[in-house]
Amino acid sequence: MSEITNFKGEAVRASEDDADAAVDTLIRTVGERVRKARELKGLPRRVVSEISGVSPRYLAQLEAGEGNISIGLLMRVAIALDHRIEWLVGEEDPWTSEVLRAADLFRTASAADRARVLDILAPHPPESLKSSRICLIGLRGAGKSTLGALTGESLGIPFVELNREIEAHSGMPVNEVLALYGQEGYRKLEAQALERVIATHDAMILAVAGGIVAEPDTYKTLLTHFHTIWLKARPEEHMERVLEQGDTRPMAGRPEAMEQLKSILRSREALYERADARFETSGMSRDQARDALVALIHERGFLGRG
């Protein structure tokens, strides 16, 4: 045992035996890896010796775990074996390590693929992905379209309804999209429309259909790229507003419509709760709701986050 001083000036004890054991282990590991790399490539020790300039005798000692080779000579051996020197001395086994395999693939990947990998492995801070995008979610009749347009005008940022984006891209009204492609086709167009909106707007207010929260992948994209606000109202107000708009889907001729509306709200409540904020619109005039929503957006810092 010997006494040394650490960076704080404190006396500590270091075990020379432990250090020697670690060195011996490293030498054996390097030797085993050199031998395995040579055998896998089908190279006689004599050929590796000629390419590297390291004598056959020294190579034999190295592979046996008896040669304390210098870094310079080991680099020559690694080059002769077409191997990376870090594979020979690193903790990861070069033949079984997923980490080293991934690193090797990364080195040969295109710049675009590297960028995608880095985005996945070292993503941007969540708030930076949201930029100044705000999305209003909630059931039909919550006031998303009306309040979204008024708030966008007050804040001086664009207001977009995702359904209008779907219609513009498909060339037909949403009800025709549903009739022609079904719910599955509509959801696919909805996800594509959301990606387009994200790509073209850094600051905006978006209103989406109430059922978007039931599509896990699309909703995840929404939560990742938008500051989401759940607009809430009493079920009776939801119904009144829907009827005022002349939109009774799927309530036409159904006396149990109110009960169904409450059921839909209950089933989606946990999903709506994932929003960044909630905003109660019951009992407010349009102007009151607009002013209160603008105040909430400023208070929560949903604008101006890069």
Domain CATH for 191: 3.40.50.300
86: domain CATH number?
1.10.260.40
Query: Within this chain, do residues 136 and 31 fall inside the same structural domain, yes or no?
Result: no
Question: Which tokens go with 275?
Answer: 């929003």
Residue 71 has a CB neighbour count (10 Å cut-off) of 9
**Is the domain of 183 the same as that of 205?**
yes
Residues 104 and 156 in one domain: no
- Indicate whether 117 and 133 sit together in one domain: no
Which stretches in the chain have pLDDT values below 50? 1-13, 250, 252-253, 305-306
| Residue 95, amino acid | W
In a domain, 54, yes or no: yes
Query: Tell me, what's the pLDDT at 4?
Result: 45
| 202 and 216 part of one domain | yes
Q: Does residue 304 lie in a domain region?
A: no
In a domain, 5, yes or no: no
What pLDDT, on a 0 to 100 scale, did the predictor assign at position 233?
79
pLDDT of the residue at 295: 96
Rounded to whole angstroms, the Cα distance separating 153 from 265 reads 29
Note the pLDDT of residue 74. Answer: 85
Residues 164 and 270 in one domain: yes
Are 228 and 111 found together in one domain?
A: no
306: in domain? no
**pLDDT tens-digit series, residues 50-104:** 998 988 888 888 888 887 778 888 888 888 888 788 778 887 777 777 776 777 7
Whether residue 3 is contained in a domain is answered as no
Partners of 52 in the beta sheet? Answer: none
- The 8-class DSSP code of residue 42 comes to T
- Host domain of residue 75: 12-91
Phi, psi dihedrals of residue 101, rounded to the nearest 5° = -65, -45
- pLDDT given for residue 2 in this prediction: 46
Q: Answer yes or no: is 7 within a domain.
A: no
pTM: 0.57
| 132 in any annotated domain | yes
Q: Are residues 60 and 167 in the same domain?
A: no
Structure tokens, 228: 């989401």
List the structure tokens of 131.
């930029």
Instruction: Provide the pLDDT for residue 94.
Output: 73
Are 111 and 22 found together in one domain?
no
**What pLDDT score was predicted for residue 91?**
76
Residue 140 lies in a domain: yes
Q: How many domains does the chain have?
A: 3
* Alpha carbon separation from 79 to 44, 53, 71, 83, 84 (Å, rounded): 15, 11, 12, 6, 7
> Which residues, other chains included, contact 168 with Cβ-Cβ below 8 Å and sequence gap of 6+?
none
**Mean pLDDT over the full length of the chain:** 82
51 and 161 housed in the same domain: no
Mark 35-68 as b/e (b = at least 16 C-beta within 10 Å): bebbeeeebebeebbeebebeeebbebbbebebe
Please check whether residue 179 is in contact with residue 205, taking contact to mean a CB–CB distance below 8 angstroms: no
